[in-house]
Structure 1
Amino acid sequence: MRPRYLILVGQADDSASSAQRIADATGLRLARTTPQVAVLVNDACRCLDIDANTLVVGTLFPRHGPPRAITTFTDAERQALARGGSQALLRSHWGGYVSLWMRGDSVEILRDPSAALPCYRSEAGAIAAFASDVDLLTAAGMGPRGIDWEGLGRMLHSCGLPSVATALGGITTLPAGAAIVRKGGIETEATGWSPWTFVEPHADERPGDTAERLRRIVETCVSAWASTCRRPLVSLSGGLDSSIVAACLAQAGSDAACLTLYTDDPAGDERGYAAALCAQLGFPLAEYRYDMAGVDLSRALGAHLPRPIGRAEAQPYEAAHREVAARMSTDAFFSGNGGDNVFGFSQSAVALADRALHEGPGAGAFATLRDICRQTGAGPLRVTRAAMAIARQSPAYRWKPSPAFLHPDLVASLRDLPLAHPWLEAPPAALPGKAVHIAGILRAHPNLESDRSRIAPLVNPLLSQPIVETCLSIPSWQWRTGGRDRAVARAAFANSLPAMVLDRKVKGTPDPFCGEIIRHKRRELRERLLDGQLAGHGLVDSGAIEDALRADRATSSAENVRLLELVNAEAWTTVWASSVFARHT
């Protein structure tokens, strides 16, 4: 069962009775009610009291102590948290949660930095609602006001940049790590969590000690999340990140099972790697094929979410997880999602720029130059020139839009709209590699919910706050040591993974299956995109789509991915257009 919650903030004459009516209608439990706040939760979502005016909704783990979810605070913890506020909570605990701090007539709301617990928002009059899902906002009488077509256009253009806005009118999000204060219907920003607090490297730490520090914190976080379930199912690609998660579950004594999907093309077949890992760990492995029969272009992934997510080729992936979960009584899905992001994966010259800026030219910079050349196959002159160009620029990361197949008028209207996020605001003395690292972590956040998360929690342990903070403290050049990507993570788990997994350099991909879908469903894809609502609202470039989908034209991998993203968005609009219409008739 996934955690669900609804928090109502504000004053109304019938707040208590209204909250009880919502509880009765949704099956939630009214966990806390005050003149300002009502908190409703289901059985899978804890409501932890700090004091009469402070509470935490969701799953919380201690920074120090046994790696398992807490059910209550000690007296000492309550006193420290009441005295130190939300910043003390960020320092002493982590997890997937939303916290409330009531002080007089103001309420501070903080969402944890990992984005592990969704937080959608809506308002009606003086009441603001915060919820795990849109269905609960609708039950509270604050559901969406239809599709926000301009917002959807911005989302398709922004290439996965997390934003406060969604693609549904009246529905927004509280971003990960953000804190706000509401007082008398007025909202202001408060101090939350910033990744830039943790980018300072540990001075003089030996590489072996860094790897050991990372190993301990990853094992602790995965073990903590494992304590919340009995029978997790691990999405196993055979790559490094999901293999690390599986190895840590084995270390924690978890009764886990694994699932891998494969394509007919060898580029998407990682069964050999997955089987070698499961044989070493003692976990059962289910193998499912990416099947064309499982792709329905009229069905939307993320139909329950206030924004489209994913691409049509993932439908067999989700279906396989649901089938295996039902057979094995799975109560949580574990993923290596975010591993590339937190473990500093890069194929650019930014690590050389970082090291030269931090240490100056010398033996260290030369070693990093050699590592990058070895990893990427690029020549030293090319890498040096690229690093020099990076070093001359502002350290702030410039998020690039994705205009492919979007209507030229839409692209032109968004040309001067900054692609901004508080985490992308780099301090003046920041190293550019850390800005890239932080941007990579942000890229993982929009993909943390999926269709299978409706039947059981989807846990992405590598994005846990302590892991993110630890990885941010590791210099970018250390992640490239020896010419290997994610080098520190490889060193940390060198004794836990099969050599063929640890040393592999090529990543598997379902891209061949994407191409297969385009070839087999070209006519249907063309009809849906040219005659659908995205075209009708001026979001897509019909001419470019028609040209790409000509029978005599081969599409590129990038085009395939974009077209399958757009057709999923088209299906999503059909769901929400009919849903909103049904509620108003």
Structure 2
Amino acid sequence: MIGVVFSRGTFRRLSSVVEPVPDCTTAGATARYLVTKVWGGYFAIIEDRSKGHIGLLVDPSGLLPVYHLATPDHDLYASDPRLFARSGTPGPPVSYLALHAHLLKPELRRRVTCLEGVEELAPGVLHLPGMPEEPPQAIWHAADFLPSAQILDFEEYADQLKGLSTAVIQCWSESLGKASVAASGGVDSSLICAALSHADQRFDCVTLATLDPTGDERIYARRVADWFDVRCAERVYDPGGVGRKTDQSAGAGSTSSARD
């Protein structure tokens, strides 16, 4: 397992899965065991003893992206497509059709990328690269994690949400260090701020704005930061920075996208 893994039962970070897997003869059985026992941002390489191949599982959250490039001789997998070049493989060309589709709906996460022949593995799905006749198997299903007990009242559900969100956010904060929350004043980022505060974790807020009011959420981000008594860093997008290269420390080919 590559990445960050936490126990679903204890909310502790794991360095290994110490519990014996009840049925590890197939990759599918092991994958189903993992999604019920652990969570985080990970990529699992699982032995399929029944068929002598391996299975590949990206955790259901998709926090750790995994990209696939097939060559005449190898199947390559990487968390960043730029790593493919280290294998000696020529850099894949841009897929302009995929780029067009991405620009139309940039928030839609697709398996197809903007590079020819490079696809992202679907989260929560078991892939069997050595068995092309076997289709990918959906391992994670939301319905498996829905509450099955009696319906509770609003306050009880609120307490459950508070406890779970605080435990999850505390795990990440203790593993990765002080957080900078991309605050907008909306529900998602405000819940993260509340969970960090309740868990006594240090954090700041940050917000990016456009000069057009429709892309400016600074007033809401400030109110959230003021409520939790934390700093709020604000930056404004600079259209003039598009295509302008920064220094080498920012990474080759990067562009300047914000200014003070």
TM-score range for the pair, normalised by the shorter chain length? 0.7 to 0.9
Contact 1:106–1:183 (CA under 8 A) maintained in structure 2: yes
Change (3 A) 1:175 1:144: farther
Alignment correspondent of 1:117? 64
Contact 1:257–1:285 (CA under 8 A) maintained in structure 2: yes
**1:231 paired residue among 162, 178, 194:** 178
Counterparts of 1:143 and 1:68 in 2: how far apart (Å)?
41
Contact 2:208–2:237 (CA under 8 A) maintained in structure 1: no
1:88 paired to 2:33: yes
Counterparts of 1:263 and 1:155 in 2: how far apart (Å)?
21
Alignment correspondent of 1:152? 99
**What code does the residue aligned with 1:296 have?**
G
Measured on the aligned residues, the alpha-carbon RMSD in Å equals 3.2
Counterparts of 2:168 and 2:47 in 1: how far apart (Å)?
30
Post-superposition shift, 1:114? 1.0
Counterparts of 2:132 and 2:37 in 1: how far apart (Å)?
31
Contact 1:178–1:191 (CA under 8 A) maintained in structure 2: yes
Counterparts of 2:114 and 2:102 in 1: how far apart (Å)?
7
Counterparts of 2:32 and 2:96 in 1: how far apart (Å)?
37
Counterparts of 1:111 and 1:94 in 2: how far apart (Å)?
11
Could you say what secondary structure the match of 1:78 adopts?
coil
**1:214 paired residue among 146, 150, 161:** 161
Counterparts of 1:140 and 1:264 in 2: how far apart (Å)?
43
Change (3 A) 1:262 1:184: closer
Change (3 A) 1:110 1:202: same
**What code does the residue aligned with 1:182 have?**
P
Could you say what secondary structure the match of 1:172 adopts?
strand
Q: Work out the percentage of aligned pairs sharing the same amino acid.
A: 25
Contact 1:123–1:142 (CA under 8 A) maintained in structure 2: no
Alignment correspondent of 1:71? 15
Post-superposition shift, 1:156? 4.4
1:258 paired to 2:200: no
Contact 1:127–1:185 (CA under 8 A) maintained in structure 2: no
Contact 1:101–1:108 (CA under 8 A) maintained in structure 2: yes
**1:107 paired residue among 30, 37, 54:** 54
Deviation digits for residues 171-219 of structure 1 (CA, Å, limit 9, x no counterpart): 1110111211132666632242233444677542222222222222211
Higher helix share: 1
Contact 1:101–1:107 (CA under 8 A) maintained in structure 2: yes
**What code does the residue aligned with 1:78 have?**
P
**What code does the residue aligned with 1:129 have?**
L
Change (3 A) 1:236 1:220: same
Counterparts of 2:113 and 2:39 in 1: how far apart (Å)?
26
1:136 paired to 2:136: no
Post-superposition shift, 1:259? 2.0
**2:129 paired residue among 160, 169, 182:** 182
Change (3 A) 1:277 1:155: closer
Deviation digits for residues 23-53 of structure 1 (CA, Å, limit 9, x no counterpart): xxxxxxxxxxxxxxxxxxxxxxxxxxxxxxx
Q: Looking at CA atoms only, which structure, 1 or 2, has the larger radius of gyration?
A: 1
Structure 2 residue runs without a partner (length 5+): 246-250
The TM-score, its normalising length taken from structure 2, stands at: 0.79
Counterparts of 1:298 and 1:151 in 2: how far apart (Å)?
20
Change (3 A) 1:185 1:299: farther
Deviation digits for residues 148-178 of structure 1 (CA, Å, limit 9, x no counterpart): 2333344445675433221211211101112
Change (3 A) 1:201 1:296: farther
**What code does the residue aligned with 1:109 have?**
L
Deviation digits for residues 413-434 of structure 1 (CA, Å, limit 9, x no counterpart): xxxxxxxxxxxxxxxxxxxxxx
Change (3 A) 1:186 1:234: same
Could you say what secondary structure the match of 1:295 adopts?
helix
Contact 1:87–1:192 (CA under 8 A) maintained in structure 2: yes
The TM-score, its normalising length taken from structure 1, stands at: 0.38
Could you say what secondary structure the match of 2:129 adopts?
strand
Post-superposition shift, 1:296? 2.6
Matches within 5 A, 1:173-572: 173-183=120-130, 188-198=135-145, 203-262=150-209, 270-288=217-235, 290=236, 292=238, 295-298=240-243, 315-316=257-258
Deviation digits for residues 456-478 of structure 1 (CA, Å, limit 9, x no counterpart): xxxxxxxxxxxxxxxxxxxxxxx
Deviation digits for residues 528-568 of structure 1 (CA, Å, limit 9, x no counterpart): xxxxxxxxxxxxxxxxxxxxxxxxxxxxxxxxxxxxxxxxx
Could you say what secondary structure the match of 2:224 adopts?
helix
Higher strand share: 2
Alignment correspondent of 1:574? none
Alignment correspondent of 1:512? none
Counterparts of 1:117 and 1:173 in 2: how far apart (Å)?
11
Post-superposition shift, 1:98? 0.9
Could you say what secondary structure the match of 1:182 adopts?
coil
Structure 1 residue runs without a partner (length 5+): 1-55, 305-311, 321-585
**What code does the residue aligned with 1:137 have?**
F
Could you say what secondary structure the match of 1:146 adopts?
coil
With CA pairs under 8 Å and 6+ residues apart, which has the higher RCO, 1 or 2? 1
Post-superposition shift, 1:227? 1.6
Contact 2:242–2:257 (CA under 8 A) maintained in structure 1: no
Deviation digits for residues 123-163 of structure 1 (CA, Å, limit 9, x no counterpart): 22342121100121121234543122333344445675433
My pick for the range that moved more, 192-201 or 223-232, is 192-201
Could you say what secondary structure the match of 2:128 adopts?
strand
Could you say what secondary structure the match of 1:211 adopts?
helix
Contact 2:65–2:79 (CA under 8 A) maintained in structure 1: yes
**2:7 paired residue among 50, 62, 66:** 62
Counterparts of 2:176 and 2:53 in 1: how far apart (Å)?
36
Contact 2:162–2:195 (CA under 8 A) maintained in structure 1: no
